[in-house]
């Protein structure tokens, strides 16, 4: 898919999210397997390129006039700008994402792209049960040296509280990121 993909249907958007998410999980799972069984850490260039990152949706809305008068509480944009959010488990949230994207794409002249975000999927979230045999022999600190791990300092509700973005920056597309 490359680094970024411009999409024209809600289904194509969710398909692209699923593809990027699956690729990130597979890349990290393979790297974890190699580290666990051979002791070889992942190539740092993989992480620099975003190989272990959640996908994100980027919506650009640059109308010629005011936004259309839409009274529903979801699937609407109140002002021009760039909106984005990271998505976890797009396969699990497919129906919800389609419900949100369909009215946006129908009622607004928007550009939607799907791309890797800068937010990495923590290694504990990519293990399948049964893959972790032998994992207990490696310290969490050693795993965190080579693989993404949760950073509690980055978890918050600033978006929901309306404290995160400043004027002329990208707007949040959802109340919480992945």
Q: Where are the domains of the chain?
A: 5-172
Which alpha helices (H) appear in 108-163, and where do they start and end? 140-146
Number of Cβ within a 10 Å radius of residue 1:
13
Per-residue pLDDT of the chain (178 residues), as tens digits, is 444 556 889 999 999 999 999 999 999 999 998 998 899 999 999 999 999 999 999 999 999 988 888 888 888 888 899 999 999 999 999 999 999 999 999 999 999 999 999 999 999 888 876 666 667 778 888 989 999 988 766 665 555 455 555 555 777 676 566 6
Tokens of 48: 């620099």
pLDDT at site 176: 61
CA distance 94 to 75: 15
Options 3.30.1730.10, 3.30.2010.20, 2.60.40.790, 3.30.70.270; CATH of 5-172: 3.30.1730.10
Which alpha helices (H) appear in the chain, and where do they start and end? 10-38, 44-48, 94-107, 140-146
pLDDT at site 148: 92
pTM: 0.85
CB 17 within 8 A of CB 87: yes
Name, in order, each residue with C-beta under 8 angstroms of 19's C-beta and a sequence gap of 6 or more: 1
19 bridge partner residues: none
């Amino acid at each position: 898919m490359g680094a970024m993909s411009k999409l024209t249907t809600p289904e194509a958007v969710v398909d692209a999210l699923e593809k990027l998410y699956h690729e990130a999980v597979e890349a990290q799972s393979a790297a974890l397997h190699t580290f666990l069984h051979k002791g070889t850490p992942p190539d740092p260039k993989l992480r620099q390129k975003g190989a272990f990152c959640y996908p994100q949706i980027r919506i650009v809305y640059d109308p010629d006039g005011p936004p259309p008068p839409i009274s529903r509480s979801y699937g609407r944009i109140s002002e021009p700008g760039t909106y984005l959010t990271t998505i976890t488990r797009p396969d699990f949230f497919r129906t919800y994402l389609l419900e949100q994207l369909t009215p946006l794409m129908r009622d607004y002249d928007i550009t939607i792209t799907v791309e890797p975000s800068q937010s990495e999927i923590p290694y504990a979230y990519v293990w399948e049960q049964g893959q972790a045999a032998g994992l207990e022999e490696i310290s969490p600190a050693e795993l965190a040296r080579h693989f993404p791990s949760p950073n509690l300092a980055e978890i918050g509700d600033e978006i929901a509280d309306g404290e995160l973005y400043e004027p002329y920056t990208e707007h949040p597309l959802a109340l919480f990121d992945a």
